[in-house]
């Protein structure tokens, strides 16, 4: 069994430990989807992680889900990200950009565009808009000839991410966003080559990942998945079959990693781990489970074959999380009221354990 503080070779990128900071939306971007100096501070503070994965970054205006999130589809956005990646590298860290196309989980008040999805089926629940929460709108079903263009948006953003100094990218194929919508038997009611059978429903994900690999190389490419999560109503009736098929299609691409959320039965997750020949990151928090992953959860998944373990919420209030886990120090609680409020409060003002002692 690996130790959480062992080194790991991530497709040629040396990681000093096996702790990954999971992507978390923090809605601190400036107008135009620009990264800010505070974002540089935020990520640099957490650079002791083996790998940082950024918040979800929209690959296009059409792909933007929430207001206040950053993009990677304009030259100005690329330039704004460079001080962030420079700050992380100066602090000794490594960072991948998570590319997140919201698909139907968006709103015209945010983007000026009608959201798109595999089918004209709205997400369940409410979405964020500049004026507050609103019911998820009816998306426009993509025409068959349009689907490859949405898949290609990830590759275009990946190229910009590398230009901005990121060490690689992670496609957001989890939590009910566009890739998940195509995988879903509830959100995807298509009858063309992108819908119906498992082989057809995994096609969009495979095309998106293949495009990114062609653009920036397999060593710079990962994907995050949340089997069976059903978030935003993107449920799957055949979880095991769908994700085994997807991993079988992705395996020949020799990706840097698959980032798996523990959102289905453990035996299925272990089977997926065994089916994947490369690096597997596991995010151990299950909806309804512990609010923060901890050392015990990490060790459990390392024992089940995970190579790396990602922590989300625990990193919000513990910029020195690696050191706290290593030294068995208590974890500081976070203030949920400041998750999405903007500004520096609840963002870059959490002290390290040494600072608060």
- Per residue in 283-307, pLDDT (tens digit) is 997 545 555 788 999 999 999 999 9
Angle at Cα 288 formed by Cα 348 and Cα 96, nearest 5°?
40
pLDDT band at 272 (very low <50, low <70, confident <90, very high): very high
DSSP three-state, residue 350:
coil
The answer for residues whose C-beta is within 8 angstroms of residue 186's C-beta and 6 or more apart is 121, 230, 233, 234, 235, 236
Residue 235 has pLDDT above 90, yes or no: yes
Please tell me the predicted confidence (pLDDT) of residue 291: 58
Please give the pLDDT value at position 289. Answer: 56
Q: Whole-model pTM? A: 0.97
- Write out the DSSP string of 256-275: SEEEEE--S-HHHHHHHHHH
The string of pLDDT tens digits covering residues 333-343 is 999 999 999 99
Pairing of strands 19-21, 51-57: parallel
Would you call 356 helix, strand, or coil by DSSP? helix
Is 308 in a helix, a strand, or coil?
A: strand
Residue 91 located in a structural domain? yes
For 3-60, the pLDDT digits (tens) are 999 999 999 999 999 999 999 999 999 999 999 999 999 999 999 999 999 999 999 9
Q: What angle do CA 149, 153, 154 make, to 5 degrees?
A: 130
Q: Name the percent of the chain lying above pLDDT 70.
A: 97
Q: What is the rounded CA–CA span in Å between residue 303 and residue 309?
A: 11
Q: Which of 43, 154, 177, 243 is catalytic?
A: 177
Whole-number pLDDT of residue 3: 94
Question: Number of C-alpha atoms within 13 angstroms, CB side, residue 37?
Answer: 0
For residue 236, tell me if it sits in a domain.
yes
What is the Cα–Cα distance from 222 to 227, expressed in whole angstroms?
A: 16
Residue 2 lies in a domain: no
List, for residues 69-124, the tens digit of each pLDDT value: 999 999 999 999 999 999 999 999 999 999 999 999 999 999 999 999 999 999 99
Instruction: State percent of the chain over pLDDT 90.
Output: 96
In a domain, 162, yes or no: yes
> What ranges make up the beta strands (E) of the chain?
8-10, 13-15, 19-21, 51-57, 95-99, 116-117, 126-129, 132-135, 140-141, 168-173, 221-225, 257-261, 280-283, 308-311
In a domain, 172, yes or no: yes
Predicted local confidence at residue 356, as pLDDT: 86
- CA-nearest of 16, 8, 57, 18 to 157 is 57
Q: Do the domain assignments include residue 334?
A: yes
Three-state secondary-structure class, residue 30: strand
pLDDT at 2: 80
| Average pLDDT of the residues of the chain | 96
- Length reported for the chain: 357
Q: What is the pLDDT of residue 192?
A: 98
Confirm whether 3 is domain-assigned.
Answer: no
Among candidate residues 287, 284, 339, 342, the one with its CA nearest the CA of residue 19: 284
pLDDT grade, residue 282 (50/70/90)?
very high
Residue 133 lies inside a defined structural domain of this protein: yes
- CATH code (residue 23): 3.20.20.70
pLDDT at 185: 98
Overall number of domains in the chain: 1
Residue 181 and residue 232: Cα distance in Å, rounded?
9
Range of the domain at 344: 8-356
> 43 an active-site residue?
no
Q: How far is CA 108 from CA 124, 133, 176, 314, 318, in A?
A: 17, 13, 18, 33, 35
Q: What is the dihedral of CA 33, 260, 116, 185, to 10 degrees?
A: -170
pLDDT at position 293 is: 80
């Amino acid at each position: 069994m690996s130790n959480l503080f062992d080194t790991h070779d991530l497709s040629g990128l040396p990681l000093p430990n096996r702790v990954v900071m999971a992507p978390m939306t923090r809605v601190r971007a400036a107008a135009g989807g620009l990264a800010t100096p505070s974002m540089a501070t935020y990520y640099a503070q957490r650079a002791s992680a083996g790998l940082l994965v950024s918040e979800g970054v929209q690959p296009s205006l059409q792909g933007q889900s929430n207001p206040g999130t950053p993009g990677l589809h304009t030259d100005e956005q690329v330039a704004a990200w460079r001080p962030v990646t420079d700050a992380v590298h100066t602090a000794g860290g490594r960072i991948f950009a998570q590319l997140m196309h919201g698909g139907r989980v968006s709103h015209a008040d945010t983007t000026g565009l009608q959201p798109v999805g595999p089918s004209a089926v709205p997400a369940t629940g409410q979405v964020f808009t500049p004026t507050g929460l609103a019911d998820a709108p009816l998306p426009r079903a993509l025409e068959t000839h349009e689907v490859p263009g949405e898949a290609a948006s990830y590759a275009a953003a990946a190229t910009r991410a590398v230009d901005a100094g990121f060490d690689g990218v992670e496609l957001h194929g989890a939590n009910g966003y566009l890739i998940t919508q195509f995988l879903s038997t509830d959100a995807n009611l298509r009858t063309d080559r992108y819908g119906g059978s498992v082989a057809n429903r995994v096609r969009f994900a495979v095309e998106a990942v293949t495009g990114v690999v062609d653009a920036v190389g397999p060593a710079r490419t990962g994907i995050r998945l949340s089997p069976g999560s059903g978030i935003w109503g993107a449920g799957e009736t055949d979880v095991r079959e769908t994700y085994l098929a997807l991993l079988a299609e992705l395996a020949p691409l020799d990706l840097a990693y698959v980032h798996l959320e523990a959102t289905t039965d453990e035996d299925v997750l272990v089977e997926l781990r065994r089916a994947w020949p490369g690096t597997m990151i596991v995010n151990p928090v299950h909806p309804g489970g512990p609010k923060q992953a901890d050392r015990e959860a990490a060790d459990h998944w390392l024992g089940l074959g995970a190579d790396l373990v990602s922590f989300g919420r625990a990193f919000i209030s513990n910029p020195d999380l690696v050191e706290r886990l290593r030294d068995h120090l208590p974890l500081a609680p976070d203030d949920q009221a400041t998750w999405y409020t903007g500004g520096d409060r609840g963002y870059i003002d959490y002290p390290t354990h040494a600072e608060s002692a």
